[in-house]
């Protein structure tokens, strides 16, 4: 009887496996397409768009790097990402410390207000921000764009760090305080070193967000030598003559940092991105 | 914890200054801008004039209609994510690898993904080549170049990218459910459907609500990247969305005040859902400071 029941379950399991496999392959296909096309010559690409490259070549990367000021854009994206992620981390941790470990009037209201900013779409802020940035001559500067990114990253960052600081046992903090630690001392010597996993998670998620961001970069960094990688990519489609394999090589280089980071730090991505939704 | 009265504010100050600079002040400025217009070279208040103008603009109305149509992706995304999460939760062979792969699209830049998909869906693109190769050439279409098909194609890509987030979210929640709950139901002779209906769905209820709200906010106000890269709103405004309308009005046609009016409307609509999300968080005991 158990064997029979197990056999009966086989078709069900198999069909489930097939369903999941189908959607997994679908998820992967664009990445596969990017990878194989980047290694094909134009003729090979036109002859067959699906197969593995019959004669793999690296020329496309050379073409991609040569055109479109690729390296400058890559550097711009990196500068913005590093700047915004670092600054927002410091500012967010300080604020989170106050939210998690201090009492002050209006704390709950302030925290909820900040939470609500977490899902405000950037698009509604770009018009007034642009008007303001023009007045302060911050359009087409790293500082201007980084400032906006910091603001947009802060709500989620403060939320996450507050939640994490609250999980650190009060006893540890109290012990440090008895040993004569000041508030700042508790923060820099106790809380921060204990928060490494949360900090890594936050850095990963925020870096991903800034690296991938298009709208702010498009509007606030319009001058050619200030453009980011994503803005460069977005403008590729509108060109009349398109070298698809070279474009794919460029896309691959823009995407690879994320994929590599994800493969090595999967749990940080998952924890960070679903952060707060599930405990 | 003992501390001087002003001390919390010292720690909060940098964050508050930043948030006021990026959200607070611009929001006030936004409302003012939306009530102004340049007439005969001078900027003056026109009351709700910009808003009236918007509702007489067919392109704007088309954009709103398209955003509403995009809402159709939400039940598909949620349902598909639920199905895949339930399957993976049954610890099928290779479930970890499946989870890793299904989550990947959510991380990839919309810009790159959009460009890849535009090559997949173009007339001489990968999809049509495939259809011809398997003898289904009659089904080949100009997926992004037709006014009737462009929006559904964009919707497909949105679902493609967002599903993985739901899968991982649901799976994480399922894994924190007591195993005994499922065992007890099985011992009571519950079949697969009963198990899902009486255990899985109720256990996932708050997370499903949360993901639904997030997905609604996404299609109403976070789809700029998709349309900008894949269709630029075309053909013939058939994929115009409110975000793209803001961008074009504000930064192509120099109609900052009209763009501001759209932004205010968008903020009000998302505001409702942001409020909903906050309530959900509170109810599920998340994000509460003590």
Taking CB atoms and an 8 Å limit, are A34 and B112 in contact across chains?
Answer: yes
Which residue in B has a C-alpha nearest to residue A125's C-alpha? B26
pLDDT band at B288 (very low <50, low <70, confident <90, very high): very low
A278 within domain boundaries:
no
- Do B37 and B49 meet the contact criterion of CB atoms below 8 Å apart? yes
Phi then psi for A198, rounded to 5 degrees?
Answer: -65, -40
- A60 SS3 class: helix
Tens-digit pLDDT profile for residues A191-220: 899 998 899 989 999 999 999 999 999 999
Residues 63-122 of chain B with CB under 8 A from chain A are 80, 83-84, 87-88, 90, 92-93, 98, 100-120
Same domain, A50 and A67: no
**A-chain residues within 8 Å CB-CB of B240?**
none
The ipTM estimated for the assembled molecules is: 0.90
Residues of chain A with C-beta less than 8 angstroms from the C-beta of B114: 234
Q: Do B115 and A234 touch (CB under 8 A)?
A: yes
Q: Which residue of B has its CA nearest to A162?
A: B289
Indicate the pairing of strand B42-45 with strand B36-39.
antiparallel
Does A151 sit within 8 Å of B23, measured CB to CB?
A: yes
Q: Are residues A40 and A81 in the same domain?
A: no
User: Cβ-count burial of A192 within 10 angstroms (0-12 exposed, 13-18 middle, 19+ buried)?
Assistant: middle
Q: Do the chains contact at B104 and A100, CB–CB below 8 Å?
A: no
CB-based contact A24 B8, cutoff 8 Å:
no
Instruction: Say whether both A44 and A76 belong to one domain.
Output: no
Instruction: Indicate whether A46 and A97 sit together in one domain.
Output: no
CB contact under 8 A, A163 and B210: no
pLDDT value of position B272: 87
Reported as a single tens digit per residue, the pLDDT across A87-129 is 999 999 999 999 998 899 999 999 988 888 887 889 999 999 9
The SS3 of residue B235 is coil
pLDDT of residue A241: 58
Q: Does A36 touch chain B (CB under 8 A)?
A: no
Are both A180 and A236 inside the same structural domain?
A: yes
Nearest CA in chain A to B16: A95
Q: How far is B103 from chain A (nearest CA, A)?
A: 8
A71 and A124 together in one domain: yes
Question: Among B263, B6, B133, B230, which residue's Cα sits nearest to residue A234?
Answer: B230
Query: What kind of architecture, by CATH, is found in domain B57-254?
Result: Orthogonal Bundle (1.10)
Say if residue A44 is in the same domain as residue A74.
no
CB contact under 8 A, B273 and A126: no
CATH of the domain at A107: 1.10.3720.10
Q: What percent of chain B has pLDDT over 90?
A: 60
Would you say residue A279 lies in a domain?
no
Query: Sorting pLDDT into bands at 50, 70 and 90, what band is A277?
Result: low
Distance (Å, rounded) from C-alpha B232 to C-alpha B240? 8
Same domain (yes/no): A12, A67 = no
Q: Tell whether A49 is covered by a domain.
A: yes
Q: Supply the pLDDT for residue A116.
A: 86
- A242 domain residue, yes or no: yes
pLDDT in tens, B15-67: 999 999 999 999 999 999 999 988 877 888 888 999 999 999 999 999 999 99
Per-residue pLDDT band for B166 (boundaries 50, 70, 90) equals very high
- B16 CB neighbours in chain A (<8 A) are 95
* Residue at which a domain ends, from A22, A37, A57: A57
Q: Do A279 and B176 touch (CB under 8 A)?
A: yes
Two tokens, residue B185: 């139901």
The token pair at A254 is 């823009």
pLDDT class of A239 with cuts at 50, 70, 90: low
Examine the domain organization and report whether A84 and A176 are in the same domain. yes
Number of domains in chain A: 2
A77 in reach of chain B (CB within 8 A): no
Angle at B238 between CA B232 and CA B244, to 5 degrees: 40
- What DSSP string runs through A136-152? TT-TTSHHHHHHHHHHH
- Looking at the fold, whether A252 and A233 belong to one and the same domain comes out as yes
Shared domain check, A237 and A160: yes
Considering only CB atoms, which chain B residues are within 8 Å of A211?
Answer: 109
Tell me, yes or no, whether A84 and A167 share the same domain. Answer: yes
> Are the beta carbons of B116 and A30 separated by less than 8 Å?
yes
Alpha-carbon torsion angle B143, B146, B150, B152, nearest 10: -80
Q: What does the domain layout of chain B look like in residue ranges?
A: 57-254
Q: Which domain holds residue A120?
A: 63-273
Q: Nearest-CA residue of chain A relative to B225?
A: A214
8 Å CB contact between A31 and A45: no
């Amino acid at each position: 009887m158990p064997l029979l029941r197990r056999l009966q379950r086989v078709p069900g399991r198999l069909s489930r496996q097939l369903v999941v496999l189908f959607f997994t392959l679908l998820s992967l296909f664009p990445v596969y397409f990017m990878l194989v096309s980047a290694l094909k010559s134009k003729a090979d690409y036109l002859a067959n768009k699906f197969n593995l490259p019959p004669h793999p070549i690296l020329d496309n990367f050379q073409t991609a790097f040569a055109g479109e000021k690729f390296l400058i854009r890559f550097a711009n994206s990196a500068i913005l990402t590093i700047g915004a992620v670092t600054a927002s981390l410091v500012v967010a941790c300080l604020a989170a410390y106050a939210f998690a470990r201090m009492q002050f009037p209006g704390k709950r209201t302030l925290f909820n207000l900040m939470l609500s900013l977490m899902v405000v779409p950037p698009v509604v802020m770009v018009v007034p921000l642009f008007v303001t940035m023009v007045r302060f001559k911050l359009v087409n500067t790293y500082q201007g764009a980084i400032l906006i990114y910091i603001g947009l990253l802060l709500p989620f960052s403060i939320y996450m760090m507050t939640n994490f600081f609250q999980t650190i046992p009060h006893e540890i903090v109290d012990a440090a305080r008895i040993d004569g630690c000041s508030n700042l001392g508790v923060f820099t010597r106790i809380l921060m070193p204990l928060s490494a996993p949360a900090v890594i998670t936050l850095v990963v998620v925020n870096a991903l967000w800034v690296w991938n961001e298009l709208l702010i970069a498009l509007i606030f960094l319009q001058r050619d030598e200030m453009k980011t990688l994503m803005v460069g990519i977005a403008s590729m489609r509108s060109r009349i003559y398109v070298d698809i394999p070279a474009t794919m090589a460029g896309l691959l280089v823009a995407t690879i940092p994320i994929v590599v980071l994800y493969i090595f730090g999967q749990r940080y991505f998952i924890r960070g991105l679903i952060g707060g939704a599930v405990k | 914890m003992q501390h001087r009265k002003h001390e919390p504010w010292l720690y909060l100050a940098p964050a508050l200054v930043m948030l006021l600079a990026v959200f607070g002040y611009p929001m006030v400025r936004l409302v003012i801008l939306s009530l102004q217009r340049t007439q005969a070279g001078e900027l003056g208040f026109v009351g709700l004039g910009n808003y009236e103008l918007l509702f007489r603009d067919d392109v704007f109305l088309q954009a709103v209609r398209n955003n509403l149509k995009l809402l159709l992706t939400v039940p598909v995304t949620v349902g598909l994510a639920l199905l895949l999460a339930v399957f993976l939760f049954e610890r099928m062979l290779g479930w970890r690898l499946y989870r890793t792969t299904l989550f990947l699209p959510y991380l990839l830049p919309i810009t790159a993904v959009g460009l890849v998909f535009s090559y997949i869906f173009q007339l001489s693109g990968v999809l049509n080549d495939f259809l011809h190769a398997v003898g289904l050439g009659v089904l080949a279409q100009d997926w992004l170049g037709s006014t009737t098909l462009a929006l559904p194609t964009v919707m497909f890509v949105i679902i493609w990218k967002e599903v993985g987030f739901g899968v991982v979210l649901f799976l994480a929640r399922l894994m924190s459910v007591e195993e005994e709950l499922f065992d007890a139901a099985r011992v009571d002779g519950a079949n697969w459907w009963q198990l899902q209906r009486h255990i899985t769905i109720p256990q996932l209820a708050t997370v499903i609500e949360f993901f639904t709200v997030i997905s609604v906010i996404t299609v109403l106000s976070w789809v700029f990247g998709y349309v900008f890269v894949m269709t630029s709103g075309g053909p013939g405004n058939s994929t115009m969305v409110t975000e793209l309308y803001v961008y074009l009005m504000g930064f192509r046609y120099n109609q900052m005040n009209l763009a501001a009016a759209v932004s205010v409307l968008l903020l009000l609509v998302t505001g409702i859902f942001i409020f909903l999300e906050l309530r959900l968080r509170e109810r599920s005991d998340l994000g509460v400071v003590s």
